Amino acid sequence: MGNPKFGIIITSIGERTESQCFESFKTINRRYIHLVKNVYPALEAFKKVCEIAIINKYDFVFNIDADVLLFNNWFDIVNKEVQKDKNFFLKTFTIHDKYLGLVDKGNKFYNCKYFEQLLIKINQNYNTILKSPKPMGFTNRYINDGLQVDGKNKPEGTENGYIEYVKLEEPIGIHGYEQYYLDIYYRFYLQKIRYRNFKFKDINYNFSGEKIEESIIKKAISDSRKDKIINLYRYFFKELVPSNAKNKTYFVKRIDIKEKNPLELNRNEIFKKYGFV
């Protein structure tokens, strides 16, 4: 990437593909790769990302969820965006999600020059942000002063940065493949809470031999709808904050099936299994 100092931060809540995610960065010096694991809630994990970036004096960090596996061309695509313009706060890139197709999911490329300012604002508004069903979206608005722009029409010389989804014809990686059953359940339970208009028809069930996953997803969405105490009173709910990933274990008895074993496939074998090579 030339002169800018660049770091990788993997965020994990014990995903089944954590080791395979690391394989995406085998050409990067290990000293620039960091793991934020089992830090709850999500807002605290993000604060940790900011702190790591500041301590290491990174100019940019690529924050990747551990259920994302990147293709080999990811670096060239990200580097191109940095060379194009360095005023952004956050860029996300197209990922191929197992259930939702091409989306911007699980990857966040941050400009670290905004992190000190952002940490101050997070701490000032911590409880309000924490109770939001989408805490990271709430946080991003502080940087943009309530205005998100698409990058093409962004104000010239903006001091607050901007947020952009870099929509690509070809994704830079895959998301949500080979998840544990519990992670699938928890993901779609939250999906229904965060996006009230989310429907069954938005999900691709055309993955061979995975009918059990379809039933888990449908149950998660149905259960989320029934749990009205979270859906209707989420801003006042204290014991089970929906975005607090440690609470996913609360749902173990609901799925009531034998969990998958730890994953033995490597990254390339997963790509091959699903037709990405």
> With bands split at pLDDT 50, 70 and 90, how would you rate the model's confidence at 59?
very high
Mean pLDDT of 161-173: 89
Please indicate whether residue 241 or residue 210 has the higher confidence score (pLDDT).
210
What confidence tier does 233 reach under pLDDT thresholds 50, 70, 90?
low
Provide the pLDDT confidence category of residue 72 given band limits of 50, 70 and 90. very high
Identify whether the C-beta of residue 166 lies closer than 8 Å to the C-beta of residue 92. yes
Q: Which residue has the tokens 């928890």?
A: 186
Q: For position 152, what pLDDT does the model report? A: 46
Exposure of 196 by Cβ count < 10 A (0-12 exposed, 13-18 middle, 19+ buried)? Answer: exposed
The CA-based diameter of the chain, rounded to the nearest angstrom, is 55
Most confident of 21-25, 114-118, 131-135: 21-25
Name the residue ranges covered by the structural domains of the chain: 6-174, 181-259
How do residues 175-207 score in pLDDT, each as one tens digit? Answer: 999 999 999 999 988 887 777 777 767 788 776
Helix (H) or strand (E) holding 36: strand 33-37
Query: Which one, of 82, 66, 79, 85, lies nearest residue 23 by Cα?
Result: 66
pLDDT > 70 in the chain, percent: 82
pLDDT of residue 243: 66
How buried is 117 (Cβ within 10 angstroms: 0-12 exposed, 13-18 middle, 19+ buried)? middle
Give me 78's structure tokens: 């990200």
Q: What is the DSSP string of 153-167?
A: SPPTT-SS--EEEE-
* pLDDT tens per residue across span 91-132: 999 999 999 999 999 999 999 988 998 898 888 888 888 777
What rounded mean pLDDT belongs to the chain? 84
Torsions phi, psi for 84 (to 5 deg): -70, -35
CA–CA separation, 174 and 15 (whole Å):
14
pLDDT tier for residue 68 given thresholds of 50, 70 and 90: very high
* pLDDT score recorded for residue 190: 84
Q: Is the pLDDT of residue 240 over 60?
A: no
In the predicted structure, residue 232 carries a pLDDT above the cut 80:
no
Report the alpha-carbon angle 259-264-266, nearest 5.
130
CATH architecture designation of domain 6-174: Alpha-Beta Complex (3.90)
Give the long-range contacts of residues 258-265, CB within 8 A, separation 24 or more. 259/180, 259/181, 259/182, 260/16, 260/180, 260/181, 262/16, 263/16, 263/17, 263/19, 263/20, 263/178, 265/20, 265/178
Say what the pTM is.
0.88
The reported pLDDT for the residue numbered 228 is 64
